[in-house]
């Protein structure tokens, strides 16, 4: 069986410019930012640190971190020239055109960061089959070990789709529907901006299994308020619930610690 590092990255699917346009927003809400800011402050305080924002898009999130931590420096990587062009210039921010699966083409081998941010990026790593898509996600996560400095952390925001009968069923169904080009017109009418390209969501248990498999220790996990789910999605996709999850990860064996959360979140 092929290994994850044999995954055909040259066939990774990409969104069309008009699809990318829909992501010119900031998804990190005030409660999410409060949780993340606290984790960063606990780790770095007033000390300088470098971070890598993969899929950083318009730069709003990167600029927010730079403003909150005046001694931080940033590398923002995004595959879209249009999104990179929307970034405001900042003396402590460097822009590079690169995708999560091809960072090595834009960064030197010895370029490392103290924190790497993956804000709703992993579910956009899509290949022609579900098996290869999952392998690409694993490969990207494995490669990030070498991009972290000793003591570094990986920050991941993802939408967690939980199923009624089996937790991972909705994510698999969404992948099969959105990735099929012949169904693009239908899935677009159903509200899928990624129609014809695909998207690969996982449930919380699947992500926790991926962290263990990839050698990541979960230092903290915050599950935010669940979304309202329409009866159509509940019936058609078997969705029991959807919420944003934040994972604060270390490439070194450490115990998971409970972190305070705002009143609008729940700590698992």
pLDDT at 148: 97
How confident is the model at residue 263, as a pLDDT?
35
Average confidence (pLDDT) over 12-19: 69
Q: State the pLDDT at residue 131.
A: 95
Residue 264 banded pLDDT, cuts 50, 70, 90: very low
Q: Where are the domains of the chain?
A: 4-161+203-226+242-256
Per-residue pLDDT tens for 66-124? 999 999 999 999 999 999 999 999 999 999 999 999 999 999 999 999 999 999 999 99
State pLDDT tens for residues 199-250.
999 999 999 999 999 999 999 999 999 998 887 778 888 899 999 999 999 9
Q: In what order do the strands lie in the sheet with 49-54?
A: 93-97, 72-78, 49-54, 113-119, 148-163, 239-250, 217-224, 265-267
Q: Does the pLDDT value for residue 265 go beyond 50?
A: no
| CB neighbourhood size of 166 (10 A) | 12
Nearest CA-CA partner of 195 in 205, 207, 183: 183
Helix (H, G, I), strand (E, B) or coil at 105: helix
| CATH superfamily of domain region 4-161+203-226+242-256 | Vaccinia Virus protein VP39 (3.40.50.150)
As to burial, measured by CB atoms within 10 angstroms (0-12 exposed, 13-18 middle, 19+ buried), residue 226 is middle
| Short-list 264, 19, 5, 261, CA closest to 124 | 19
Q: What is the pLDDT of residue 189?
A: 67
pLDDT in tens, 42-59: 999 999 999 999 999 999
Tokens 């099929």, residue located: 180
User: Tell me, what's the pLDDT at 260?
Assistant: 40
Among candidate residues 246, 180, 239, 186, the one with its CA nearest the CA of residue 219? 246
pLDDT in tens, 113-164: 999 999 999 999 999 999 999 999 999 999 999 999 999 999 999 999 999 8
Of the candidates 99, 82, 78, the one whose C-alpha atom is nearest the C-alpha of residue 18 is 82
């Amino acid at each position: 069986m092929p290994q994850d590092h044999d995954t055909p990255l040259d066939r990774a699917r990409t969104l069309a410019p008009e699809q990318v346009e829909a992501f010119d927003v900031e998804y990190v809400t005030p409660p999410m930012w409060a949780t993340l800011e606290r984790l960063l402050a606990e780790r770095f305080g007033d000390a300088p640190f470098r971070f890598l924002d993969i899929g950083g898009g318009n730069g709003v999130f990167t600029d927010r971190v730079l403003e909150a931590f005046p001694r931080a420096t940033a590398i923002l990587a995004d595959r879209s020239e249009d999104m990179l062009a929307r970034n405001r210039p900042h003396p402590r921010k460097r822009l590079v055109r690169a995708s999560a699966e091809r960072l090595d083409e834009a960064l030197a081998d010895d370029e490392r960061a103290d924190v790497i941010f993956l804000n709703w990026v992993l579910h956009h790593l899509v290949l022609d089959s579900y098996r290869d898509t999952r392998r690409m996600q694993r490969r990207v996560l494995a490669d990030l070990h070498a991009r972290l400095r000793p003591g570094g952390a990986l920050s991941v925001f993802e939408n967690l789709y939980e199923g009624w009968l089996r937790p991972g069923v909705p994510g698999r169904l969404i992948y099969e529907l959105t990735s099929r080009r012949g169904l693009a017109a239908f899935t677009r009418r159903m509200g899928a901006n990624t129609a014809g390209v695909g998207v690969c969501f996982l449930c919380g248990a699947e992500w926790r299994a991926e962290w263990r498999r990839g050698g990541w220790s979960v230092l903290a996990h915050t599950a935010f308020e669940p979304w309202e789910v329409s009866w159509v999605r509940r019936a058609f996709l078997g969705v029991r619930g959807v919420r944003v999850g934040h994972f604060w990860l270390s490439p070194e064996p450490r115990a998971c610690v409970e972190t305070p959360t705002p009143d609008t979140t729940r700590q698992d």
